[in-house]
Amino acid sequence: MSGFDRRTFLTVLAAAGAGAGIGVPLLSGIAGSSSTGTVLRSQLALPEPFTVPFTVPPVLAPTGDRYEIVQRAATAEILPGVPTPIWGYNGIFPGPTIVSRSGDPAVVHHRNALPVPVVAHLHGGHTPASSDGYPTDLIVPAGAMPTMPTMPGMPGMPTLADPRATVTVGERTYTYPLRQRAATLWYHDHRMGFTGASVWRGLAGFHLVHDDEEDALPLPRGDRDLPLMIADRAFAADGSLRYPSVDPTLQRTPGVSTAYSGGVLGDVILVNGRPWPLAPVPAVRHRLRILNASNARRYSLALDPPPPGGGGLVQIGSDGGLLDRPRVHDAIEVAPAERFDVVADFGRYPVGSKVTLVNRFGSGSTAVVMRFHVTRRERDDTRVPATLSTIEQLDPTHAVATRTLLFQDHGGAMGWQINGHPFSPGYATATPRLGSIEVWRLISDFHHPIHLHLVHFQVLGRGLSGPGAYDAGWKDTLDLRPAEEAAIVARFDDYAGRFVFHCHNLEHEDMAMMANFQTA
Ligand code: C2O
Ligand code: CU
Ligand code: CU
């Protein structure tokens, strides 16, 4: 259903009697099958898949006791021989990987050398509000005036100033306590109204957290522990990245043109900023830290051919770190912003095998992601233990509140709404008491990957069923599918303040599918 237009989809839903999207059964054949969005085509010749070498982003060395990042425009060679203007953390896409230890605070100083305001957010971080990258806590370009952010240019809406915004000029220091488990986190831009366009231009990077528990396990590490940032993009004839912004200056009017308001899907699949790369690997277990950094595209990832007997992707971790025990999958479905840590054992293939990571939700150029070429035997002392970690099961009967959140399209420029409201910095949809457990019922019309800041949660169930096959462990993003209702449970701990939760389809997010919760 890639390329399926949102309006058409709405018609289908209405025809199925599911227009309200509340309490309706899953639409089989639609739910779980693809993405909400429209494909933007590239306008130049694309390279043959599996010809560009796979690389991993460089690890950032600290400067003294902090990390220094300059957000700046740069030129990247993403397609061979084609210069592409990007915005990058330290001028590269993906940005440099920050590697931290659980409990050791990471201090990251961002300098903004871009022509627009920026906000840096550590996705999956258990972070105090002051460093969480609230969408109006802007770093404006040096030389700009620190004026109060308003919700810009929304037709028919009053201008909303955010009196609690903290605007800094030129630079800002974020402090991440990282009192959390080992996990694959990522950082990306989070400016109100313009996150989709800014991430599309390149503002995304990995932030990995390690801890003693994970280090003690015999899992693949070093150059057998590969982060894979998967993102789709489209290119214009001149090599620039295509994106259908209403305001190409990314200064005033947020959002994308109507045809793409369901989400922007590209026709080039990048892994760590390279199109359909080729990775030579020894015939041993590898840990693949899969991150879907796409704006709107969902993937069903599998190894092709599958290893003998199947079960090619052994999931060991989720958004919030290790699972209690491994889950064996033939394929995994990954919505935007979700992470799946899997172990793939290339020792199950003969040397010389070409193993393709395919996308069963894709077609044509988007049906393949990257390829592994099994080049040689090597010693492998790793294994996937039957027990990985201990996970405290949150007890929903201890919940002090149950909240219902509707994620629905109401049409128009701010049409993606939560409980019938477009995003407003001034309004708290939920007010959890610090330390308390709450159950949130999330109800959707289309695909909406729902992300909560501050907390990790557990999935209690979908519809009348239990958690889905991809819902295990601690999550910070839930792949909510069309006309679906899911229940999650979370404990709102440690940090008082204002945080957002939102749809992580970045076009939906920019067009107002975001809301606040206020912990106290
Ligand atoms: Cu990945 Cu609110 O962000
Ligand atoms: Cu986040
Ligand atoms: Cu959405």
Distances (CA, A) of 468 to 332, 446, 455, 476: 11, 17, 20, 15
Distances (CA, A) of 138 to 112, 190, 192: 10, 9, 9
Strands 225-233 and 278-282, sheet pairing:
unpaired
Binding pocket residue ranges, ligand 1, CB within 6 Å: 121, 123, 188, 190, 337, 451, 453, 500, 502, 504
Q: Which atom of ligand 1 is the closest one to the Cα of 514? A: 2
Task: Pull the structure tokens for residue 75.
Answer: 């030129």
Count CB atoms within 10 A of the CB of residue 306. 16
CB-based contact 10:447 (threshold 8 Å): no
Distances (CA, A) of 375 to 136, 279, 308, 352, 366: 49, 10, 18, 6, 26
Q: Which atom of ligand 1 is the closest one to the Cα of 133? A: 2
DSSP H or E run through 282:
strand 278-282
Q: Which atom of ligand 1 is the closest one to the Cα of 188? A: 1
Kindly give, in sequence order, each residue whose CB lies less than 8 Å from that of residue 514, ignoring residues fewer than 6 positions away. Answer: 135, 418, 423, 500, 501, 502, 503
Distances (CA, A) of 250 to 8, 147, 220, 388: 28, 17, 42, 44
Distance in angstroms (rounded) separating the CA atoms of residues 473 and 213? 16
- What is the pTM for the complete model shown? 0.93
Ligand 1: which residue has its CA nearest to atom 3? 123
Give the per-residue pLDDT at 15: 30
Task: Pull the structure tokens for residue 361.
Answer: 């939700």
Question: What is the Cα 207 distance to its own chain's centre?
Answer: 13
- Could you say which ligand is closest to the alpha carbon of residue 336? 1
- Angle in degrees, CA 289, 119, 173, rounded to 5: 90
How many Å lie between the centroid of ligand 3 and the Cα of residue 285? 35
Kindly give, in sequence order, each residue whose CB lies less than 8 Å from that of residue 163, ignoring residues fewer than 6 positions away. Answer: 148, 426
Distances (CA, A) of 12 to 411, 482, 503: 16, 11, 22
CB-based contact 110:172 (threshold 8 Å): yes
Range list of β-strands (E), 293-390: 299-304, 313-318, 321-329, 331-334, 339-345, 354-359, 368-376
DSSP 397: G
DSSP state letters, 71-138: EEEEEEE-STT-EEEEEEETTBSSPPBEEEETTS-EEEEEEE-SSS-B-EEEET----GGGS--TT--
Distance in angstroms (rounded) separating the CA atoms of residues 165 and 112? 17
Instruction: Note down pLDDT in tens along the chain; length 520 residues.
Output: 333 333 333 333 333 333 333 322 223 233 334 888 999 999 999 999 999 999 999 999 999 999 999 999 999 999 999 999 999 999 999 999 999 999 999 999 999 999 999 999 999 999 999 999 999 999 999 887 777 677 654 555 555 678 889 999 999 999 999 999 999 999 999 999 999 999 999 999 999 999 999 999 999 999 999 999 999 999 999 999 999 999 999 998 899 999 999 999 999 999 999 999 999 999 999 999 999 999 999 999 999 999 999 999 999 999 999 999 999 999 999 999 999 999 999 999 999 999 999 999 999 999 999 999 999 999 999 999 999 999 999 999 999 999 999 999 988 778 899 999 999 888 899 999 999 999 999 999 999 999 999 999 999 999 999 999 999 999 999 999 999 999 999 999 999 999 999 999 999 999 999 999 999 9
